Structure 1
């Protein structure tokens, strides 16, 4: 992968086969917009290995790091907006983003935050990029752990390349984190692929969830995963513990909820194959259909067991930054 100025997929040279236009993912959403920190993102090379390293330098997984992280920064995980995440980082480290951070003082987050940061960098450089929600099969043997990764459009190859910014080195079940294969037997499978396989009776839903031994997973969890991936596609890059109407609960999946997941999954799989009409239908439905879209508010649960609360998505917190907006791209 080359630097931004030569990167296939940069907005100036994006190609659109059969009416398919990935340029909409080169523009910031409200979630990826860096606000006053645009210049910090522009200073990060739009190269997968380098920007992934910076993502890991800023953000530490709140649960999987193996470190005892400060109680006073536990609320970092709900920062949500990339501008807010960068604000937290700059309050603690008023330095360029590639300057090494003490792990204990990094922003607490998860795979969604590593991926959102990476997408924000790429979009700031004018490169189409988006989040994908699904299940990774490389963290645990015989188990699909829910996970968020990044897709970047390569116009010369006419494909979306998948990479995992949270993983720095190859793993036993992942040849490279920088170009993850696609398909039902790939190291990462999309939520839609997993849901349709469950509905076809070819996979055991008990082997999909937040992790073996965590006790959170199954069919209801897989149904919700479809909603997250569909929301990401439409620019709703929500926290992975936000919920909204249409998503299942641990009580089980209703017939109506299963039908909605079937419909969304069919659109996602078709869109992934390059069906521009399915792509448009999926995005329009997630933005305008109250039976599946998050709308202007969500119910935010807590992976730490804190009380759930309603989050108004129209209210973005202020930041303390004063840096130039640089090449910020408005939605």
Structure 2
């Protein structure tokens, strides 16, 4: 089997795989979108930071696809579902994750990756999921505006908690119309005037700021 030499390979993460399959589906006329959330199948007893692609099926509705999973993942992780039809119990969208923690069903410390976890981590995923529902596909580390000035931005007071509760409902319900309205009009999460993707931090800048 043909394989590129290591220095000719591209390093990719779940968001990149999901964006690629999303682009292919859209090019073929199939409604598709990215979702930011957490996977239950990448690490035992943990909700791992993750992205998937959803596409619309006229009979089943929105179906989640984890384009990153291959035979090697299956051998190691031993998941029991079709990667082209990931059950909602295995991929938890950010809004649902927020609700589970706020309702004390799950511990916020169980959501994230490595040492980055908790409500402040879910907060960032939640905002990025609303943008994904609006067909603005951010990077996993995009930050630097509104109530998300840093990659890990603590929740500031009861007002912000209440706001995030409301945002979580939109993410959980997957209401793309409401999500688009929010990212355009909600001052706490909308991008500043004149903002463009080049203003998001690079991966190197992100690690330097932590």
Q: TM-score, length-normalised on structure 2?
A: 0.84
Q: Output aligned runs, 1:182-261, within 5 Å.
A: 182=88, 186-210=89-113, 214-243=114-143, 244-247=145-148, 250=152, 252-255=154-157, 256-261=159-164
Could you tell me whether the CA contact under 8 Å between 2:81 and 2:87 is conserved in 1? no
Cα shift at 1:105: 1.7
Q: Which string of whole-angstrom CA distances, capped at 9 and with x for unpartnered residues, describes residues 279-331 of structure 1?
A: 322211113333212342454263685546xxxxxxxxxxxxxxxxxxxxxxx
Q: Which string of whole-angstrom CA distances, capped at 9 and with x for unpartnered residues, describes residues 23-61 of structure 1?
A: xxxxxxxxxxxxxxxxxxxxxxxxxxxxxxxxxxxxxxx
* In 2: Cα distance, 1:208 partner to 1:173 partner: 19
Q: Name the SS of the counterpart of 1:237 in structure 2.
A: coil
Count of paired positions: 197
- Does residue 302 of structure 1 match 2:203? yes
* Structure 2 unaligned regions, length at least 5: none
* In 2: Cα distance, 1:138 partner to 1:166 partner: 13
CA 113–266 in structure 1, closer or farther in 2 if over 3 Å, else same: same
Could you tell me whether the CA contact under 8 Å between 1:162 and 1:179 is conserved in 2? yes
* In 1: Cα distance, 2:127 partner to 2:39 partner: 17
CA 251–162 in structure 1, closer or farther in 2 if over 3 Å, else same: closer
Could you tell me whether the CA contact under 8 Å between 2:95 and 2:126 is conserved in 1? yes
- Does residue 138 of structure 1 match 2:41? yes
* Structure 1 unaligned regions, length at least 5: 1-98, 273-277, 309-331
* In 2: Cα distance, 1:229 partner to 1:264 partner: 10
Look up the match of 2:185. Answer: 288
CA 174–190 in structure 1, closer or farther in 2 if over 3 Å, else same: farther
Structure 1 outlier segments of 4+, above 3 Å = 99-104, 248-251, 303-308
The worse-fitting range, judged by mean Cα deviation, of 124-133 and 172-181 is 172-181
For the pair shown, the structure with the greater C-alpha radius of gyration is: 1
* In 1: Cα distance, 2:69 partner to 2:205 partner: 23
2:87 counterpart (151, 165, 181): 181
Look up the match of 2:13. Answer: 110
Could you tell me whether the CA contact under 8 Å between 1:119 and 1:150 is conserved in 2? yes
* In 2: Cα distance, 1:117 partner to 1:201 partner: 35
Could you tell me whether the CA contact under 8 Å between 2:47 and 2:110 is conserved in 1? yes
Greater relative CO (CA pairs within 8 A, separation 6+) = 1
The worse-fitting range, judged by mean Cα deviation, of 223-232 and 253-262 is 253-262
Q: Name the SS of the counterpart of 2:41 in structure 1.
A: strand
CA 305–236 in structure 1, closer or farther in 2 if over 3 Å, else same: closer
- Does residue 279 of structure 1 match 2:180? no
Cα shift at 1:109: 2.3
CA-based RMSD: 2.2
* In 2: Cα distance, 1:239 partner to 1:102 partner: 26
* In 1: Cα distance, 2:204 partner to 2:34 partner: 20
CA 174–158 in structure 1, closer or farther in 2 if over 3 Å, else same: closer
Q: Name the SS of the counterpart of 2:42 in structure 1.
A: strand
The worse-fitting range, judged by mean Cα deviation, of 132-141 and 256-265 is 256-265
Q: Name the SS of the counterpart of 1:240 in structure 2.
A: coil
